[in-house]
Amino acid sequence: MRLDRYLVALGEGSRTEVQDRIRRGQVCLQGHVMTRPETECGRNPEITLEGRRLDTRLIRHVMLHKPEHVLTAARDRKQKTVMDLLPGVYASLGCMPVGRLDRDTTGLLLLTCDGELNHRLLSPRRHVDKVYEAEVEGTPGAEEIRRFGEGLFLGDFTAAPALLEILETGEHSLARVTIHEGKFHQVRRMFEAVGHPVRRLHRSAFGPLILPEDLLPGTFRELTETEENAVYAAAGMERKQ
């Protein structure tokens, strides 16, 4: 990739701004000042901007603890989106949410700059498990566990068999459900269909990723190497970079 494009991708300014900085001798590539914006960078380049060493990784993966009242969207003119919770470099690099959580759903959301990985993790053929904890009205029992396990008819489609576990019972119960699809409002619709509407929904795991307890709502971190490897394996792909 050209040096000017690389700097734009890293969120260091507009094309004109970075070209100007390169021409003024503010940018070093592999330790040498480069004044031509079209200089090719090669793979994993070492770039400094006015002496500041840049993180030049183009492919990054982020685990976000999505809070309530935030949209899973790249941008929205009125409402806060998950991209607003991350530094701008992730948007510049083209990081996108893998699937979506409803505005009121909390929990683990993966974002990645790798479009193919994103696509494959969402493919129904890959059967990537998603685990949700749901606070529901009333107490689901053996009948609901059976119906979830058989695959529920939801009007326009039949949900694939899902594992339902009841964790706490009462006027409002706590249930854990494991699904491998990701249809719009799927978990809410499944509980609605068996007469136990969802009051709160939280995703605690996505494929091999488990939301760490110390990752507070609204905060994020990049995946560890082990997590990255596990996510690529779940997608049936070789890890990039």
Strand partners, 49: 27, 52
When asked if residue 159 is in the footprint of ligand URA (CB under 6 A), the reply is no
Q: Which of 4, 76, 84, 102 is catalytic?
A: 102
Of 101, 152, 162, 194, the residue at the interface with ligand URA (CB under 6 A) is 101
Of 3, 65, 70, 105, the residue at the interface with ligand URA (CB under 6 A) is 105
Closer Cβ to ligand URA, 6 or 132, answer by number: 132
When asked if residue 129 is in the footprint of ligand URA (CB under 6 A), the reply is no
To ligand URA, the closest distance from the beta carbon of 122 in angstroms equals: 13
C-alpha 89/C-alpha 203 separation (Å) is 26
Q: Restricting to residues 172-191, which ones interact with ligand URA according to CB under 6 A? A: 185-188
When asked if residue 98 is in the footprint of ligand URA (CB under 6 A), the reply is no
User: Dihedral through CA 226, CA 229, CA 235, CA 241, nearest 10?
Assistant: 140
User: Dihedral through CA 135, CA 141, CA 144, CA 149, nearest 10?
Assistant: 100
To ligand URA, the closest distance from the beta carbon of 64 in angstroms equals: 14
Of 102, 181, 192, 222, the residue at the interface with ligand URA (CB under 6 A) is 102
Answer whether 149's CB lies under 8 Å from 164's CB: yes
Residue 102 annotated in active site = yes
Closer Cβ to ligand URA, 95 or 201, answer by number: 201
Burial status of residue 130 (CB atoms within 10 A of its CB: 0-12, 13-18, 19 or more): buried
Nearest to 49 by CA among 24, 16, 83: 24
Site track for ligand URA across 193-212, x = CB under 6 A: --------x-----------
Residues with a known catalytic role: 102
Residues binding ligand URA (CB under 6 A): 101-102, 105, 185-188, 201
